[in-house]
């Protein structure tokens, strides 16, 4: 099954009005491939800015986080209705920094994912293991546990993109080899076959998100179960365009 190549850019808590405007203006000037779906996730303060400045038809905007309840007395949170109202169509859930720093549980992430989907957002669901878990040989068990929390309460995965992010490779400059990443992606897809069915598993895009940059992205292009990238720091730089074009 041919799955559309997907590149996400997670700006994290970086940028100002000026620098983020420059990033978007640079994307606007590029001849981006029409067959690649791109989603950029700026800090929530700048979602409206990016939506207004974006002129690329293949680039959409997402939030970095979402709450599991409607708007109300939840200080500091961002609800799905507000994200949509600002013009964004996507949100991240389950990013390793939310799991490890904020201590979000698998169940809470699953609830946020379901609420976002139920209210019209598409979701980039992040999963992945720590270095200790990898050394212990439980990478697939960790990823399966994180996925299962979602599949227990979400039956329709048509608006879910999975991002496999080995925590040990985020922001460290380390990266899994293309063969290692492909093997893990293959195992993730095989697990999804068991939990959400073959058709949905084959249609679900699985992104790699471990220190991808403009130089190494092309090394992953021929791997059958790697359907794109979720990019962190490199999404703030001009090389983000090289990553978007890496499948060409």
List the chain domain ranges.
6-244
Q: In whole angstroms, what separates CA 26 from the centre of its chain?
A: 21
Residue 86 CA to residue 240 CA, distance in Å, equals 24
Point out the catalytic residue in the list 37, 95, 104, 111: 95
**CATH fold of 6-244, please?**
TIM Barrel (3.20.20)
- What pLDDT is attached to residue 168? 78
- What pLDDT is attached to residue 159? 98
Residue 232 CA to residue 172 CA, distance in Å, equals 11
Is residue 111 among the annotated active site residues? no
User: Rounded mean pLDDT of 64-83?
Assistant: 98
139-151 helix and 106-118 helix, angle to the nearest 10 degrees:
40
Is the pTM for the entire model greater than 0.85?
yes
- What pLDDT is attached to residue 191? 98
Top-confidence residue, 175 or 82: 82
Point out the catalytic residue in the list 37, 97, 104, 165: 165
CA trace torsion 21, 43, 73, 106 (10° rounding): 150
Per-residue DSSP letter, 87: T
Average pLDDT, rounded, for the chain: 95
Considering only 28-37, 150-159, 160-169, 226-235, which range has the smallest mean pLDDT? 160-169
β partners of residue 59: 38
Specify whether the CB–CB gap between 64 and 10 falls below 8 A: yes
Question: Which token pair is 80?
Answer: 């799905």
By CB atoms closer than 10 A (0-12, 13-18, 19+), residue 76 is exposed
Is residue 165 among the annotated active site residues? yes
- What pLDDT is attached to residue 1? 60
Burial state string for 112-151 with b = 16 or more CB within 10 A and e = fewer than 16 = bbbbbbeeebbbbbbbbbbeebbeeeebeebbbebbebbb
Specify whether the CB–CB gap between 38 and 240 falls below 8 A: no
Residue 37 CA to residue 244 CA, distance in Å, equals 9
């Amino acid at each position: 099954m041919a799955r559309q190549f997907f590149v996400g850019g997670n700006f994290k808590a970086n940028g100002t009005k000026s620098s983020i405007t420059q990033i978007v203006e640079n994307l606007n000037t590029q001849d981006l491939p029409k067959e690649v779906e791109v989603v950029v996730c700026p800090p929530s303060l700048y979602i409206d800015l990016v939506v207004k400045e974006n002129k690329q038809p293949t680039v959409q905007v997402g939030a970095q986080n979402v709450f599991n309840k409607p708007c109300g007395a939840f200080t500091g949170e961002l609800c799905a209705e507000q994200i949509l109202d600002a013009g964004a169509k996507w949100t991240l859930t389950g990013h390793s920094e939310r799991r490890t720093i904020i201590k979000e549980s698998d169940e809470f992430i699953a609830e946020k994912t379901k609420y976002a989907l139920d209210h019209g957002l598409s979701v980039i669901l992040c999963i992945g293991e720590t270095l200790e878990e990898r050394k212990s040989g439980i990478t697939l068990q960790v990823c399966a546990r994180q996925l299962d929390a979602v599949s227990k309460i979400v039956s329709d995965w048509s608006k879910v993109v999975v991002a496999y992010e080995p925590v040990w490779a985020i922001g460290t400059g380390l990266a899994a080899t293309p063969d290692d990443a492909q093997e893990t992606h293959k195992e993730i897809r095989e697990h999804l076959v068991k939990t959400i069915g073959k058709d949905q598993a084959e249609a679900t895009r699985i992104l790699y998100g471990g220190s991808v940059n403009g130089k190494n992205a092309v090394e992953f292009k021929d791997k059958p179960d790697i359907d794109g990238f979720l990019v962190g720091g490199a999404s703030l730089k001009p090389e983000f365009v090289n990553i978007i074009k890496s499948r060409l």
